[in-house]
Structure 1
Amino acid sequence: MPSDHIKIPAIEPIVRSIADGVQDTFTYNFPLFASEDMVVSLNGAAQAYGFTVNGAGNTDGGTVVFDTAPASGVIVTLERRLPLERLTDFIEGGDFSARAINTELDMLMAGLQQVDRMQGQMLRYGDHETPGDIILPSRAQRANRALGFNEDGDPIAVSLEGSMAAPDFTATGTGAETRSSADKLGDLVSVKDFGAVGDGLADDTLAFQNALAAHDYVFVPSGTYLISNTVQVKNRKSLIGAGQKSVIQAINNSFVAVECPAGYTNIQHLRIEGGSVGLRLIGVDGPCVQNAVADVTIWLSTIGLQLDGGSDTNKPCYWNNFTRVLVAQPGTHGIHLTLSGGGDTPNANRFQSCRVYSLGADMTGAGIYVEHGSFNNSFVDCEANVKGTAAACVRMGAGSNKTLLVNLFTESNNGVPNVQIDAGSEETAIINLSAQSDGAAIYDLSGGNYDAVNAGWPDKNRLRKTSVTDLKATLLRHDTEFIDTPGTTQLDLSHSVHLVNATSGAIRVDLPNAGDAPGVVMVVKKLDDTSNIVTIGEDDGNGPDGTTLQLGGRYDYAEMISNGAAWSIISSNRMAGNTRYYDGSGTYDIDMAVDVYLLSSYGGVLTARLPPANAAKAVGRSVTIKKVDSSANAVMVSEQGGSGPDQYTQPLSGQYDAITVTSNGSQWYIVSKFT
């Protein structure tokens, strides 16, 4: 049973054991104030879970029980480790509790034991020796040197030249293998191993070239490395720096600073400064594919990052990946996709969290410029923040096709467009555009050859060639064009409704060729009340229903659809009359399929029999029947199963006699009769 307070015996608060693969319970013989004071380690690695501490608050210690027994040979370390802090105070004039003071003293003693144990592991002067100088040499003095001792036994910095004593190296941890020091040091080759200085003064070009020629992985330590010629990172090579203090600096902007002429390279954790291009990817030695560029910044280059399709279609620039790349203060373009020769355009490259930032410096091009590029070059979570001297924040050139922009941020001033889409550009998709420049959100010169979702202004969404199987629309708008110029106007696929005012003279509008517009519906309506005709034709075709259609009266209209072969009229107030002619005798059933029946009874008396007045095809319908022959044979208008119009069979005896009747669902009534 625990006493009123635990006691702190003179026991080192740490226990080490060797696991046998079976034992899951390990005993400790020092007290704990709480189970959180116990640090459990396996082979020196502190464990956060997988065990239970028992016995906290007992002077004699307790046990640690593992959920699974540690593997055989593993060193199990149980150590009391307290935070060296005091979080309580005694109240002035309050009760002085023996229990409270005992607990405070226990904590103090436990902390002293912890510090004493840690000091016992330190190198120190012996008790019977007068301590000498214990101040280390300065950082500059001991850099790249070993700690040694002078003739007085005081610490000094000693040169490492020729003093590598250890012939081999063994990593800490289970399963580590012994290797020679030379083998170990060969794991990481630095440009300084090939003579690079990195002081911002010496020309380190040759050191980079030699290092990358000899090794696949080259490290660039902190420093500023001047180069006077292009550094090529060739096939399957890696050039890795220590971050933004690893600087590759071109002496001027007359050459490409860093280039990837092939594939499967890695360029990471570097700062590149200057050059006609800071970093260029182009297929020279082979296909420029699957290159990875991450955590790289490019400063003060004429063009920051460039992907070039080159001159050989067998060495394309495809499938490269760029993550967290910053291009700062470019002179022309920040990120540029282009084609300098007869090769293929850069295709299917991925840009994630990349940024172009002018930082107040003049630039003449675009932050991101896809001059040439096809098949889903994508820019996700990217930004183009450029000065007002730029042509555009983001620009899709005439050679761009199927480019994807997602979560794009753009910012500028001086009327710079946020996204410019050049004529010839195809199928750009823009999703979620934060347009902060005062220019057009989307400056479209492509004739609408783009899609937008939550992008642009004032219309955030623009979708083309969209197939919908089930659509519920709360508000439907048609893209409308107003035409008032006499002569011929060629209609295109950018509008569906055309309002035409022919006040100034006759106008002809030509529908697009039906073969170019399958499924397209177009409406043409005449607005004016002049006698000037609006004629509807077709570009290189026959026109709606195989001919031209004239709209002569105010508000005359026609709605037409193309099936890909011809235009057909769906509805119009200028449709041809709906009439049927029949010549015969006997009984002829009126089927209500047309509005006007022209009947000839030249061969004998003809009975025109209406359907029953309550028939579905008759209710609410009107029909006109006219005798057109000159014979004495009458046309008798009757009703199937009924009495006939106005309850009688109505004769049409003379040529051109006519009758118009209608059904209310109960009987047929005569609307008008001419005899």
Structure 2
Amino acid sequence: MSTSLLIPRGIPRVQYLADGAQRVFTYPFPIFADEDLQVFLGAALQSTGYAVGGAGAGAGGAVTFAAAPAEGTVVLLRRRLPIERRSDFGESGPLPASALNGELDRLTAMLQQVAGDQELMLRYADSDLPASPLLPERGLRQGKLLAFDSAGNPTIRPPVDEEALATYLPPGAGATARPVRDKLADLASVKDFGAVGDGLVDDTLALQAALTSARAVFVPPGTYRIANTLTLGYGQTLYGVGQGSVIRGASNGFDLIHLPDGYATLSGLRLEQGKAGVRLFGRDGPCVQNSLTDLTLWEPEVGLVFDGYIDPNLPCYWNNIARVLVARPSRHGVWLTRTGAGDTPNANRFHAVRVYSLSAPMSGCGFFVEQGRFNNAFFDCEANLWPGAEACFRVGAVTDKTLIVNFYAESLGALPNLQLDAGSVETAVVNLFSAAAGPAILDRSGGQYTAVNAGYPEKNRLQRSRVTELVVEALRYDTDYVEPVQGGLVALDLRSSVYLASAYGGPVELRLPKAEDANGHAVTIKRTDASTNPLTVTETGGPGPDGRVLSLGNRYDFVTLVSNGAGWWIVAGNSQPGNAHYHDTPGLFEPDLNQQLYLVSAWNGAVEVRLPAPSAPHAVGRTVTVKKSDTGGNRVTVTQAGGGGPDSEAIALAAQGHAVTVMSNGAGWHVLGRNP
């Protein structure tokens, strides 16, 4: 069974005269796809505001308008195909009937299209005698009228009407006289196409017709009311005189202006209302190198929308926006997003763009880079927002390398001045003025940003920076306090420069990352508690500082470590001396070794000073002196845990002034000095 689309005889074009009520207009010829049908209202080619039905049907279909065209408007529906071949049949390969029929269908449709175009041309009648179809050469016909000689062949005659004969000579040396008609043709105005500009008459078709007919269109002072989207195509320009040239949407149900292609210019206009004031997206071609300057967008839902859209090959890149005010938006001021499977908007440049609520409620952000890769840059921009807004500037999850310089944020509400969502990376902020009542930088990115003179209380964050010469007036170290409730393993992430650690709740192991993952990093660890629980410093997958497990045995012990990529090395530390301790209670006394000198009185009874085991973490390397301070006859005996004492014996201090100085090497307590 054939699946071809039979092309009946006829011209693929139909016209209607609208009555102001009819919304559905049929076309009695087949089309292959919706985009094959062009829809005109008057001379204006439409791109939105209607739906096409019947594509693929042999009998044609219908166009349904969202709103009935105004009475007296000419509605033109025509099939328009690119003149191209879309199939290639291989030598001795399969030749399916569907492919062949499809190609013949399109060829037939193209021929009908050409035949229809020829019907609109001036041409000789079929019964006319042969005559020359050639025009005189350009140099001969310039400024002349086309005529026909006695044989009926084309020729030229001097112009005869006064308007064509009138000339314009600009002032200044080297100026050339030109016909006034050519001079007037330099400027296409929307009023040349019937626009009124009184704010009451619907000027939609007039503006669309102007953009259909001219590459550059001027909007004179006035208020031009539109009821449908205006499309600014490739390389086109729409410009006005500034605040005096107003384009006002009849409602917020549609976007005011679309830029679906590249190299267009929009300038010197005030745009009021609209679902979006201006939307840039790659529909008809790559949306690149468009210029938006000197615009005011008043009371849109969203001021400027940059949309990655549906096709990665038609991106929204390299657009330039300068001196734009978005006033009283109800949602976002500037929004970079993606509504389909296209690429994110990238490398767009914004300069002196201001979003101002003017006390009007809004639900979104001044600037929202929801999706944007690779260096979207914002210079000297500002957001002054309603207190209930979301954020002055928000960087979304699907972003990287966003650059924000000299941004001014202000609000009476507690919204963030700058919000960085989780997933955003490599945001760079320079000179952030934070006048909103919320946090200067609400960071949910995990520190994936760099800020200079920005934020509070940390106004500067430099990561992986090489400084040849640095002068510092006040140096502050990021400090973290570590105290596991029940002790245990703590993996140090080295986000802090100083760790104050306590083993009060139980033995604690502080584990450094691999030395190879922390090349050049310096960290200081200091013990703060006076318990006898061990506190050790180890290394992930490595031997530890100076090739060993490091113990911080006593309160106030500290160590400073540096990694050279091959190992962790001790570059500073201490065995903090303490004040002498006086003890006068009889019985067993177990010193904590936080002091180097213990004065012991046995006046009220004999005292046993029991040192900890020499292998105890807080004993290894310690030197301690025990001295009898009273004049009584009771003894002070120095022993060690587990039995015995220094040099393997219990040492008795019998008289006042008797003393012993001992040190532990981890294996035993050794006498360094003794009196007597």
Per the normalisation by structure 2, the TM-score is 0.58
Q: Which position in structure 2 is the counterpart of 1:395?
A: 394
Whole-Å separation in 2 of the counterparts to 1:423 and 1:373: 14
1:113-141 C-alpha deviation (Å, 9 max, x unpaired): xxxxxxxxxxxxxxxxxxxxxxxxxxxxx
- Name the aligned partner's letter for residue 357 of structure 1: Y
**For residues 546 and 373 of structure 1, what CA distance do their matches in structure 2 show?**
47
How far apart are residue 358 of structure 1 and its match? 0.2
- Using the alignment, how far apart are the partners of 2:423 and 2:472 within structure 1? 32
Q: Whole-Å Cα distance in 1 between the matches of residues 461 and 564 of structure 2?
A: 24
Instruction: State the partner residue of 2:25.
Output: none
Distance in 1 of aligned mates of 2:291 and 2:282 = 15
- C-alpha separation in 2, matches of 1:438 and 1:326: 23
The structure-2 alpha-carbon separation of the partners of 1:519 and 1:201, relative to structure 1 and needing over 3 Å to count, comes to same
Cα 1:333–1:567, aligned 2, differ >3 Å: closer, same or farther? farther
1:251 equivalent to 2:250? Answer: yes
Larger radius of gyration: 1
Cα distance, 1:197–1:563 mapped onto 2, change above 3 Å:
farther
1:394-436, Cα deviation, whole Å (9 max, x unpaired): 1122223222222221110221111122222222222222221
CA contact (8 A) 2:275 2:301 kept: yes
Which secondary structure does the structure 2 equivalent of 1:243 belong to? Answer: coil
On the 8 A contact 1:263/1:286 being kept in 2, the answer is: yes
1:159 corresponds in structure 2 to none
Deviates more, 1:433-442 or 1:262-271: 433-442
Instruction: Find the residue that maps to 2:431 and give its secondary structure.
Output: strand
Pairing 1:147-546 to 2, within 5 Å after superposition: 167-486=166-485, 487-538=488-539, 544=545
1:634-665, CA deviations, whole angstroms, 9 ceiling, x for partnerless residues? xxxxxxxxxxxxxxxxxxxxxxxxx99xxxxx
Quote the offset at 1:328 in angstroms.
Answer: 0.6
1:559 equivalenced with 2:548 (yes/no):
no
**Letter of the structure 1 residue corresponding to residue 462 of structure 2:** L
Deviation at 1:222, TM superposition (A): 1.6
**Which residue identity lines up with residue 558 of structure 1 in the other structure?**
V
Q: CA deviation at 1:566?
A: 5.1
CA distance, structure 2, for counterparts of residue 316 and residue 180 of structure 1: 43
- Looking at structure 1, the residues matched to 536 and 254 of structure 2 have their Cα atoms a distance apart, in angstroms, of 62
Shift of 1:243: 1.2
1:478-511, Cα deviation, whole Å (9 max, x unpaired): 1111122334444334312111122223333333
Instruction: Give how far 1:219 is off.
Output: 0.7
Compute the displacement of 1:672 (Å). 8.4
Q: Is the 8 A contact 1:263 1:287 kept in 2?
A: yes
Query: How far did residue 545 of structure 1 move?
Result: 5.6
With over 3 angstroms needed to count, the CA separation of the structure-2 counterparts of 1:559 and 1:221, relative to structure 1, is same
> SS of 1:311's equivalent?
coil
Contact 1:413 1:439 in 2 (8 A): no
| Unaligned stretches of 5+ residues in structure 1 | 1-161, 575-658, 661-670
Give RMSD over aligned pairs.
2.9
Task: State whether residues 448 and 494 of structure 1, in contact with CA within 8 Å, keep that contact through their aligned partners in structure 2.
Answer: no
- 1:437-494 Cα offsets, whole Å, 9 max, x none, are 1211222222222222222223432222211122232332211111223344443343
Counterpart Cα distance in 1 of 2:298 and 2:450? 33
Counterpart residue identity of residue 444, structure 1: D
Distance in 1 separating the partners of 2:204 and 2:561: 70
* Structure 1 residues 437 and 251: CA distance shift in structure 2, 3 A: same
Aligned 8 A contact 1:366 1:394 in 2: yes
Secondary structure at the aligned position of 1:219 is classed as strand
Query: How much has 1:568 moved relative to structure 2?
Result: 4.4
Unaligned runs of at least 5 residues, structure 2: 1-160, 576-669
* 1:46-65 correspondence runs (5 A): none
**How many angstroms apart in 2 are the aligned matches of 1:205 and 1:541?**
74
Deviations 1:528-549 (A, max 9, x none): 1112233434557665566654
Larger mean CA deviation between 560-569 and 225-234 belongs to 560-569
Q: What secondary structure does 1:306 align onto? A: strand
Q: Secondary structure at the match of 1:305?
A: strand
- 8 Å CA contact 2:164–2:181 kept in 1: the answer is no
- Which residue identity does 2:418 align to in structure 1? V
Residue pair 2:410, 2:434 contacting (<8 A) in 1 also? yes
Which residue in the other structure is 2:589 paired with? none
Alignment correspondent of 2:90: none
CA distance in 2, matches of 1:202, 1:331: 26
> Any idea what SS the aligned residue of 1:212 has?
helix
Aligned residues of 1:228 and 1:251 also touching (Cα < 8 A): yes
SS in 2 for 1:325: strand
Q: Distance in 2 between matches of 1:543 and 1:345?
A: 46
Distance 2:518 2:413 in 1: 40
8 Å CA contact 1:382, 1:408 repeated in 2: yes
Distance 1:489 1:273, change over 3 A: farther
Partner Cα distance (2:327, 2:505) in 1: 57
Q: Amino acid of the residue matched to residue 424 of structure 2? A: S
Alpha-carbon spacing, 1:474–1:172, altered in 2? closer, same or farther (3 Å): closer
* Matched residue type, 2:279: R
Structure 1 residue 383: deviation in Å?
Answer: 1.0
> For residues 194 and 567 of structure 2, what CA distance do their matches in structure 1 show?
76
Q: How far, CA to CA, are the matches of 1:507 and 1:420 in structure 2?
A: 37
Contact 2:276/2:304 (8 A) holds in 1: yes
Q: How many Å apart are 1:208 and its aligned residue?
A: 2.5
CA distance in 2, matches of 1:379, 1:409: 11
Letter in 1 for 2:528: L
Q: Give the 3 Å change call, closer, same or farther, for CA 338–512 of structure 1 in structure 2.
A: farther
1:391 to partner: Cα distance: 1.0
Q: Secondary structure at the match of 1:324?
A: strand
Q: What amino acid sits opposite 2:411 in the alignment?
A: S
Quick one: distance in 1 between partners of 2:363 and 2:540? 42
Q: 1:372 to 1:555 in 2, by over 3 A?
A: same
Q: Tell me if structure 2 keeps the 8 A contact 1:262–1:283.
A: yes
Task: Tell me the alpha carbon deviations over residues 46-86 of structure 1, each in whole angstroms, 9 at most, x when there is no partner.
Answer: xxxxxxxxxxxxxxxxxxxxxxxxxxxxxxxxxxxxxxxxx
Q: Tell me if structure 2 keeps the 8 A contact 1:194–1:208.
A: yes
The structural deviation recorded for 1:165 is 8.1
Q: Secondary structure at the match of 1:355?
A: strand
The residue that corresponds to 2:124 in the other structure is: none
Distance 2:190 2:567 in 1: 71
CA distance in 2, matches of 1:325, 1:273: 13
- 1:229 & 1:484 partners in 2: Cα distance? 66
Normalised by the size of structure 1, how large is the TM-score?
A: 0.58
Q: Deviation string for 1:136-184 (max 9, x for gaps)? A: xxxxxxxxxxxxxxxxxxxxxxxxxx99586332222322222222221
Cα separation, partners in 2 of 1:506 and 1:292, compared to 1, 3 Å:
same
Deviation at 1:218, TM superposition (A): 0.7
Would the aligned equivalents of 1:250 and 1:257 in 2 still touch at CA under 8 Å?
yes
- Cα gap change, 1:168/1:518 in structure 2, threshold over 3 Å: closer, same or farther? same
Residue 494 of structure 2 contacts residue 523 of structure 2 at CA under 8 Å; is this kept in 1? Answer: no
* Paired letter, 1:370: V
Deviation at 1:241, TM superposition (A): 1.1
